[in-house]
Amino acid sequence: MLAGDPAFIVKQLAARGMKHLYIDGGQTIQAFLGAGLVNEITITRIPVLLGKGIPLFGPLGDEQSLCHIESSVSDNGFVQSRYRVVPRTAN
C-alpha cells in the first residue's frame, strides 16, 4: 500500500513501470483531480432516484471540464460514461 500526496504516489508507481492507474474512493479521486493527475474518468449511473444522498464529488475548487468519449448501457440498466478530463489552463 502506498501513502502520500498524489504526485508522490504516481511517481513511485511510474518508477515500477505502471502507466495506467485505477483511482477509486471519493476523497482519493478528489485529491488526484485536484493535483491534475487524472486524464480520464468513468462515471457509472444506477437507475435509482434518491431523495438524499452523498454527492458524487465533494468540493473540487474550480470547475472541472470534461469531454465525452463514449457511453454504454448494460442489461441491468447501468449507464457508464467515459470522459477525458480537460486540463485546466493557468491564468
- What is the residue-level pLDDT of the chain in tens, covering all 91 positions? 778 899 999 999 999 999 999 998 888 888 898 899 999 999 998 888 888 877 777 666 678 899 999 999 999 999 999 999 998 775 5
Instruction: Name the strands in the sheet holding 40-45, side by side, starting at the edge strand that comes first in the sequence.
Output: 40-45, 79-85, 66-73
Strand partners, 82: 42, 70
Neighbours of 32 (CB within 10 A): 21
Q: What are the Cα distances from residue 14, in Å, to 7, 46, 73?
A: 10, 33, 33
Domain at 6-85: CATH code: 3.40.430.10
Domain ranges of the chain: 6-85
Cβ-contact 35, 88 below 8 angstroms: no
